[in-house]
Amino acid sequence: MKYEIKGGDFPVVICNLNEGEKLITEKGAMVWQTPNVEMETKGGGIGKMFSKAISGESIFQNIYTAKNGSGMIAFGSCFPGKIMPVNISAEREIIVQKHSFLVAESGVNLSIHLNKIGAGIFGGEGFVMQKLSGNGIAFIEIDGDMIEYDLKDGEQMIADTGNVLGFETSVTMKIKQVSGIKNKLLGGEGFFNTTLTGPGKIWLQTMPISNVASSISPFIATGK
């Protein structure tokens, strides 16, 4: 497969498939395609469907296959930001926020990743995430811009959970309580932050859609 990422604030990834090549996605992200790219929707088994349902994930996958020659299909971002390609392999598995996965080659496996209970209760987006393993290229949606850090062994980064796009599986994610009761109640940053500990790469996004929704909700409620 060859691909090209185009566009500004609302990017698309244009994938050129050889005959028989497949792409998988969990949401309606297709924006245009040639007629010979066929879609098939699959559930992936009762147990897998159930685990996805209780985690809030889509229980179905769309599989796009080029038939009768090469084909082209494009997938678009649903929020202003970027699209990041990641090469997944046995040596490089990653964890991402559950809504950031866009599309991947058929050799990439998607599974539910559950953080520790503390992260689930206090980490907002942190409890249910997605693990990408197997072999192939995956494309990840980024809310706003993306900053990458390569943490050394034991090196830490503290971030608001919504800003954590993803990280390599060698990185540990924990919840850190904001110090001081005054900071908790008056600081406006919430009670908890996410601590990421290396070694490994982490990806942070600058404009989480959850933060944008929180910012505009008072204006929607008041109609002003």
The pLDDT of residue 42: 83
SS3 content of the chain, % helix, strand, coil (to 5): 20, 50, 30
Q: What is the Cα Rg of the chain in Å?
A: 19
Domain boundaries, the chain: 2-218
Choose between 95 and 115: higher pLDDT. 95
pLDDT at 222: 57
**Average pLDDT for residues 139-166, to the nearest whole number?**
94
Residues 42-96 have pLDDT tens digits of 865 444 544 554 444 556 789 999 999 999 999 998 889 999 999 999 999 999 9
* CATH class of the structural domain 2-218: alpha beta
Task: Give 32: exposed, middle or buried? Use CB within 10 Å, 0-12, 13-18, 19+.
Answer: exposed
- Paired strand residues for 62: 25, 41
> What is the model's pTM?
0.82
Query: Is 24 a residue whose pLDDT tops 60?
Result: yes
Taking 60 as the threshold, does the pLDDT of residue 9 lie above it? yes
As a whole number of angstroms, the distance between CA 208 and CA 181 comes to: 26
* pLDDT tens profile 166-206: 999 999 998 776 654 544 444 445 557 789 999 999 999 99
- Within 8 A by CB and 6+ apart from 215, the residues are none
Question: Alpha helix locations (H) across 169-208?
Answer: 181-186
Sorted by sequence, the CB contacts under 8 Å of residue 58 that are 6+ apart come out as 26, 27, 52
